Each structure stands twice: as structure tokens, then as C-alpha cells.
Amino acid sequence: MDQNEQQPTEQNAITEEHTEHPPVNEDENKKEPAPASETYTPTNKTRGGKSGLIGGIVGGISSAIIVAMLFSFQIIPIGADGNKDSGNGATSSDSPEIVKTMASDGAETAANIEEASHAVVGVINLQQQDIWTPSEEAGSGSGIIYKKKDGKAYIVTNHHVVEGAQEVEIVLHNDERIKAKVLGSDKLSDLAVLQTDGEKIDTVASLGSTKDVKVGDTVLAIGNPLGLEFANSLTKGIVSGMNRSVSIDTNGDRQPDWITEVIQTDAAINPGNSGGALVDGNGNVIGINSMKIARQEVEGIGFAIPVDAALPIMEQLESDGKVIRPFIGIGTAPLNQVPPQYRQNVQVPENVEGGMVIANVEPGSPADEAGLQQFDVITKINGENVTTILELRKYLYAETTVGDLINIEIYRGGKKEIIKLKLTDRNSNV
């Protein structure tokens, strides 16, 4: 999104939408990096065994104690390329019916733990260091073979495992390597779907559901901790918590951009486990391992994206290559973060305690068509308070769809107005 000199600030302006090509220019909002002890980073398995930094995941769990831990400790997406990370998605009420159709073309559905481990593969992120050399391994993670159809096999992994890859390979349980391509990847949900030749794939995972999962249930994490040397490792633990809410920073500005619900487990999850399976005692996949808290005094706090939340995202990535989300076309900043030199342009009644100030309006966007202007203060959408970027995104992505007509309450020049706006897909404005 282009910025201009009249915007309130480059650092505080945040866009409200995320798509396959995030509308926010990641350079717009970058700030000086925090000290390593305060930075929320992924720990990905990279060449030389070093952990890569990411501005990717910022902590925030619903429990007050865990909230404090997440915002003061490091959150680690446990994956591949050492650069980026992110879970989101509506729960699919018909997940069991979807699961039954996953295996085809002669592949057997995993019926136990051992077979489930055969459906978990290594995912190698290959990147070219310069134009004169071939692609080299930049990192490795894990993936789950969830479907085989029409001679092709499909693998789900984390977005941060394959981000930036020029080439991708998967490594089967027998150490054989096969080239794969990324069908689609979504930063906000931290999911990606790969496709490969299914000729040598003989087992696909059995996808379960979190509907009946309870705290205390036994689970196992399957993946490739520390890389392929320990491929198909299993660690055992329990479900420590359900529906944990974790705040996520997707653009590296150390500000939360989204909140995702995850499964918390004490099963050991290590660098390289990203994209691997969290399975129940029967080998059914109930989650996709994604991140953990990393600090010396913290043990056994890992997180997985629930399979029920992942399935609708996987289907969109497989068929469309992206996740379609409603788009407004604005850059915003919280009311209390408007720089002093612009505050005279923002007028609201004294009883208005919060809101989102429009920093810029993208030309040709729904916001532009609806007549929204710089320095308008958004306070509600369809009667729901939206005083932060998280509230705005959460309402848009959970409660609206492309094509909906919404009412946006704004204050312009100190006077309240209702603006009607029709939501579109971002690509329809490109």
C-alpha cells in the first residue's frame, strides 16, 4: 500500500487486511529491533543449526498468567526458513465428512501411531543464495500427507516452513526425497499446502477432530526435530489447554495483527517440528504443530493449530492458492497513537474513548468508493466497537464475507456519520 507525506505516521499506520500478498508493505512499519530477550521469534531448523529470527508470533494467552509469559517470553514457530511465521479459520462443522474423502488412489489411511508417522514428512526449504549458485537448503520443517487423488499427493505444513523458498522437497519416511510445489500459502493462518507426485505415497494421515478433545487427553507430536537426522520422532504428552488465544505479529513491527486459537500441549516440540502432526492415542491428527514458548526457565508449552480450524483454510489454498478475506483498503492508527503534529486534524467528542484513525485510503478500494477520508475516526462496524486493529480484523474476518454491505460509524470533524461500504476481495481491486 502506498504511503504519502500527509499520513499521520509511517510507523503507526497499520492496514486492516491480510491476503496471500499482504497489503502492508513490511518495510513501512518496521521499528528498531528489540533486545533478543524481548523479541518474539521463530526457532527454525536452518543450516549451521542456528535459529532464525522472525517478527512472527507475539504471545498472548487468555489465562492471565500465560498472557504475562507470552508477552515477556519468546514465542517460537518451530519450523523452517528462519525468517517468518503465524492460525486462524472458521471451524468446519462437517470435518468428519471431509476427512472420509481424503484418502484415495490406493493410499491407505493411517490406522495407528506407526502408520501416522509414515504420513509425516520432512519439508526442505531450498533457496538460492546468489545467481551463480544452485539452490541450497535454507531450513527444514515437517508436513502431513493428508490426501492423495488423481495421482497427486497433498501435504499441509506451516507458512513459515516454506516462506521464501525457490524450491521445495519433501522427505518420505524411507528417506527418499521428492520435489513438491507450493499450491498456496497464507501468512495469517500460518498454513501452506504442497503438491507432489503421488506415485511413491502409500499412506495418508487420518484427520480427526478437536470436537471431543479434552484437557488431559494423551497426545503425541510427530515431526523432524532439529532436522532430518531425527526424522519421524515422536514425543508424548497431554493436552494442556484448549482454545488458547495467541496474538500474532505478521509484519515484524512487534504489534499484534491477529489472534488465533490453538491447542496447548506439553509434548516436546522442537525446532524442525513445525508443520508436523499432533495426534491422539489412535493416530488421528488433531492439530498441526506450529509454535512454542522458548525461554530457559519454561518447559512444555507448545501450540498446535486445531485441524478443524485448518481444514477450511487448506481447502482454499488447495483450490484457489490463497485465502479470500474481506477487504476495506485503509491504513489505520489507534486514536491514542496519532502523532502530535496531526492531532489537530482528528476531532472527536470527549466521550469517545477509542477508535481507529484512518491514515490513508487506497485509491479504487471499497473505502475510497464509500467516501472514507484521511483522519476519519472509525468507532464501530455494524454496531460493534472496533477500537483496535485486532477488533477490526477479527470482526471482518469472522463476521463478514466478500460482498457484504456494512455500516461503518465514523467521526469526521467531530460529527458522527454512518458510511455504507461494500466489502470486496482485494484482488478484485488490483
Alpha helices in 207-359 (DSSP H): 307-320
Within 8 A by CB and 6+ apart from 344, the residues are none
Asked if 209 is an active-site residue, the reply is: no
CA distance linking residue 72 with residue 116, whole number of Å:
36
Residue tagged active-site, from 81, 85, 190, 253: 190
Would you mind telling me the total number of residues written for the chain in this entry? 430
Say whether 336 sits in a helix, a strand or coil: helix
Q: Which residues pair with 139 in a beta bridge?
A: 125
Asked whether the beta carbons of 81 and 162 are under 8 A apart, the reply is yes
Say whether 290 sits in a helix, a strand or coil: strand
Residue tagged active-site, from 95, 209, 274, 290: 274
Residue tagged active-site, from 18, 118, 159, 160: 160
Asked if 160 is an active-site residue, the reply is: yes
Render the burial of 89-113: b for 16+ CB within 10 Å, e for the rest.
beebeebeebbeebbeeebebbeeb
CA distance linking residue 228 with residue 26, whole number of Å:
32
3-state secondary structure 109-120: ECCCHHHHHHCE
Report the DSSP pairing between strands 203-204 and 108-109.
parallel
Task: Report the alpha-carbon angle 372-378-383, nearest 5.
Answer: 110
Residue that the C-alpha cell 460482498 belongs to: 403
Asked whether the beta carbons of 302 and 246 are under 8 A apart, the reply is no
State the catalytic residues.
160, 190, 274
